[in-house]
């Protein structure tokens, strides 16, 4: 069994969001980078659990990013990956990124590809679906539970107002979200071991770029809260009815 987990780096959840160069670039000063939480807590940890259950499992990681992502990938290795690939390219175009991942996936013949449901910076939720299409594989998105029995997977996924349980044969692509696993903290043995695990840098294949970021904007500042005294909640209801016109 071979699993590939897609990893991306994102600013820490509490990072200040600001832009430079005439609002065309994300201001990186003082930003701490982390593994995208969905990739780490759900995709990677669930893959590690599968490997713990069946130690013959091979667990690879892939990221499409510049060398500044190496510390983040090392942390993912410390958590439990066996080997990592970094496709040496910087892009925000999901088709470009997915094409690079699909290329790695083809050469590795993976049974299972996990992604997080989205990244918390560009919120694209696109890579899993694109990789699946490029490899002509089934895709189950927004998985909250994943079990494996031989070559059959049983997956619970979110649907509007509930959940759906489905069965799919390997190989396939799954996007993971809350419920799949519980966050872990790497231990000393993992951190030491990660230093010697292979992190292979691969040059990208030629692929079209279909989208580009023209610029960023911050949402307009709020006018400030209008406080209503606690002994007069009816006034709040009046404001919501007459002023905000929402009820």
Partner 1 sequence: MSVLIFIDQAEGHVKKASLEALSYGAKVAEQLGTTAEGVVLGTVTEDLAALGKYGVKKIHHVSNDTLNHFDAQVFTAVIAQAVTAANATVVIFSNNVDGKAIAPRLAARLKAGLVSGAVALPDTSNGFVVKKNVFSGKAFANIALSSPIKIISLNANSYKIVAGEGTAEVAPLNATVEASRVKVTAVNKVTGEVPLSEAEIVVSGGRGLKGPENWGMIEELAHLLGAATACSRPVADVHWRPHHEHVGQTGLAIAPNLYIAIGISGAIQHLAGVNRSKVIVVINKDPEAPFFKAADYGIVGDAFEVVPKIIEAVKKVKGIA
Ligand X SMILES: Cc1cc2nc3c(=O)[nH]c(=O)nc-3n(C[C@H](O)[C@H](O)[C@H](O)COP(=O)(O)OP(=O)(O)OC[C@H]3O[C@@H](n4cnc5c(N)ncnc54)[C@H](O)[C@@H]3O)c2cc1C
Residues of span 5-44 touching ligand X by CB under 6 A:
13, 37
* Residue 128 sits in the site that holds partner 1 (CB under 8 A): yes
Q: Within 10 Å of residue 103's Cβ, how many Cβ atoms?
A: 20
Coil, helix or strand for 3? strand
152-159 and 139-149: which strand pairing? antiparallel
Q: How far is CA 110 from the centre of its chain?
A: 19
Element (DSSP H or E) covering residue 51: helix 45-53
The least CB distance from residue 75 to ligand X, in Å, is 15
Of 65 and 194, CB closest to partner 1: 65
d(CA 130, CA 60): 19
d(CA 202, CA 99): 13
d(CA 30, CA 121): 16
Site for partner 1 in 37-76 (CB under 8 A): 37-38, 41
The least CB distance from residue 10 to ligand X, in Å, is 10
Site for ligand X in 81-100 (CB under 6 A): none
Out of 126, 148, 180, 190, which residue is the one contacting partner 1 (CB under 8 A)?
Answer: 126
Instruction: Choose the contact partner of 186 out of ligand X, partner 1, none; CB within 5 to 8 A by kind.
Output: none
CA-based Rg of the chain, rounded to a whole angstrom? Answer: 21
Residue 114 in tokens = 């996990």
The least CB distance from residue 133 to partner 1, in Å, is 4
Residues contacting 227, CB < 8 A, separation 6+ = none
The least CB distance from residue 230 to ligand X, in Å, is 10
Site for partner 1 in 178-237 (CB under 8 A): 178-179, 208-219, 222-223, 225-230, 233-234, 236-237
Q: Are the C-beta atoms of residues 38 and 142 closer than 8 Å to each other?
A: no
The least CB distance from residue 170 to partner 1, in Å, is 11
Q: Compute how many residues bind partner 1; rule: CB under 8 A.
A: 81
Out of 168, 184, 186, 197, which residue is the one contacting partner 1 (CB under 8 A)?
Answer: 168
Which residues of this chain interact with ligand X, rule CB under 6 A? 13, 37
């Amino acid at each position: 069994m071979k699993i590939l987990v897609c990893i991306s780096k994102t600013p820490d959840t509490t990072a200040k969001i600001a832009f430079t160069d005439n609002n065309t670039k994300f201001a990186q000063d003082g930003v701490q980078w982390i593994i995208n939480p969905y990739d780490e807590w759900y995709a990677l940890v669930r893959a590690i659990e599968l490997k713990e259950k069946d130690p013959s499992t091979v667990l690879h990681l892939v990221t499409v990013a510049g060398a500044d992502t190496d510390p983040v990938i090392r942390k993912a290795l410390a958590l439990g990956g066996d080997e990592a690939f970094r496709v040496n390219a910087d892009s925000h175009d999901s088709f470009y990124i997915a094409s690079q991942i699909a290329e790695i996936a083809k050469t590795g013949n993976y049974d299972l590809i996990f992604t997080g449901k989205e990244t918390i910076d560009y919120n694209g939720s696109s890579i899993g679906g694109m990789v699946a299409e490029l490899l002509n594989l089934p895709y189950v998105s927004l998985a909250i539970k994943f079990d494996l029995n031989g070559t059959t997977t049983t997956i619970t996924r979110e649907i509007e107002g509930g959940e759906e349980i489905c069965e799919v044969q390997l190989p396939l692509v799954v996007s993971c979200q809350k419920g799949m696993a519980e966050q872990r903290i790497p231990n000393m043995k993992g951190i030491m071991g990660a230093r010697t695990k292979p992190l292979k840098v691969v040059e990208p294949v030629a692929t079209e770029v279909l989208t580009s970021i023209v610029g960023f904007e911050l949402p307009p500042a709020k006018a400030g809260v209008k406080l209503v005294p606690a002994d007069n909640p009816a006034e709040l209801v009046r404001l919501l009815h007459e002023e905000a016109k929402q009820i």
